[in-house]
Amino acid sequence: MDPEQLQLGFERQIAAASDLGALDAVRVAALGKAGDVTALLKTLGAMTPDQRTTEGPKINALREAVTSAIAARRVALENDGLDRRLATERVDLSLPSPELPQGSVHPVSQVMDELTEIFADLGFAVAEGPEIEDDWHNFSALNIPETHPARAMHDTFYIAGEGEPRVLRTHTSPVQIRTMMAEQPPIRIIAPGRVYRSDSDSTHTPMFHQIEGLVIDRKIHMGHLKWTLETFLKAFFERDDIVLRLRPSYFPFTEPSAEVDVGWSIEKGRRVVGGSQGWMEVLGSGMVHPRVIANCGLDPDEWQGFAFGTGVDRLAMLKYGMDDLRAFFDGDLRWIKHYGFSFLEVPTLSGGVGA
């Protein structure tokens, strides 16, 4: 067996191997235990030193040539296979989808996404808490003691059971407590979610949505609160002529407290947000009460902050012009088809947070 002849023969077979299986058969025939190249290598042992000096390099060169030819062919076959798969598995993205997407995004979800987008841009994270709360987080820690009339104000749903009383949270403010207990300041969060009060008319439903905001840091003051609310409301209503009016108010968990009104005006016979022909209340807010900060284990001499809370459903009504809150939760397909959003209308600050 002449090494050069063998090499030519194997190179031809390697080039002719049309798949990885055929290539492997060539490999076995050449380099396997009973392969021709292996057999040639074995003859080296019986050679005289002189023969070995002349034949050794030829046989080794043969082995290397066959080995690298197989490796190169394997790479080529694998690439061919990939090319073929890419060609057959190609997806035509221009094809219309077989069915138009059904369903739509509820205005409450859409507005929550808008608010999240706006506050994310201001450096706020999203926090969550349970809808079934204990009395301490929903009331006591927020400086609303058992005997406080504010407890009655909230028309609370109590949950029957033993141990500490549990309630359906009456506001998102308990998320303030949960966040301050779990994280070290500085804190900047919003907490959107469901809240519950035993109340029902055209502007109240037993379940509705709030969004809470909380900032805790050093040297925070009312100016930061006012700037944040103004920036958020301008971005949300997509108007620069948003005018705010802060009215002194009372919440047990903030001191001082302010209710925030936003100015409205009449445009084409419709009442719209912007200008200052009249006022409507949109937010509760204030500086976090030092006692609330202390209840969460933080030193109120070191840390201050502001908080605000507002109704998401109400913001949606104001922005998108619905007038009956109850329709939000009726599940009437005609309403949701009219007021719902496409899942492709993802609010972004660059693309616009409105529809």
Report the interface residues with ligand PHE, using CB under 6 A.
171, 173, 212, 251, 254, 284-286, 307-309
For ligand PHE, give the closer residue by CB, 114 or 212: 212
Composition of the chain by helix, strand, coil, percent to 5: 45, 25, 35
* Smallest distance, ligand PHE to C-beta of residue 308, A: 5
User: What are the helix and strand counts (H, E) for the chain?
Assistant: 12, 11
**Nearest position to ligand PHE, beta carbon:** 309
Please tell me the distance from the alpha carbon of residue 144 to that of residue 258, in angstroms, as a whole number.
18
> Is 70 or 287 the residue whose CB approaches ligand PHE more closely?
287
Name the residue among 166, 165, 155, 230 with its Cα closest to residue 196: 155
Least distance from ligand PHE to the Cβ atom of residue 293, Å: 13
**Count of beta carbons in the 10 Å neighbourhood of residue 242:** 21
Question: Shortest distance, CB of residue 253 to ligand PHE, whole angstroms?
Answer: 6
For 23, other C-beta atoms within 10 Å of its C-beta total 20
Rounded CA gap, 219 and 50, in Å? 93
The least distance separating ligand PHE from the CB of residue 307, rounded to whole angstroms, comes to: 4
Measured from the CB atom, is 110 or 173 closer to ligand PHE?
A: 173
Query: Which residues are CB-neighbours of 59 under 8 A, at least 6 positions away?
Result: 3, 37, 40, 41, 43, 44
Query: 10 or 196: whose CB is closer to ligand PHE?
Result: 196
CA-based torsion, 276, 277, 278, 281: positive or negative? negative
Closest contact distance (angstroms) between CB of 266 and ligand PHE is 28
Q: How far is the CB of 216 from ligand PHE (least distance, A)?
A: 13
User: In whole angstroms, what is the distance from residue 297 CA to residue 300 CA?
Assistant: 9
CB-nearer residue toward ligand PHE: 104 or 285: 285
Q: Which is nearer to ligand PHE, 20 or 132 (CB)?
A: 132
SS3 category, 238: coil
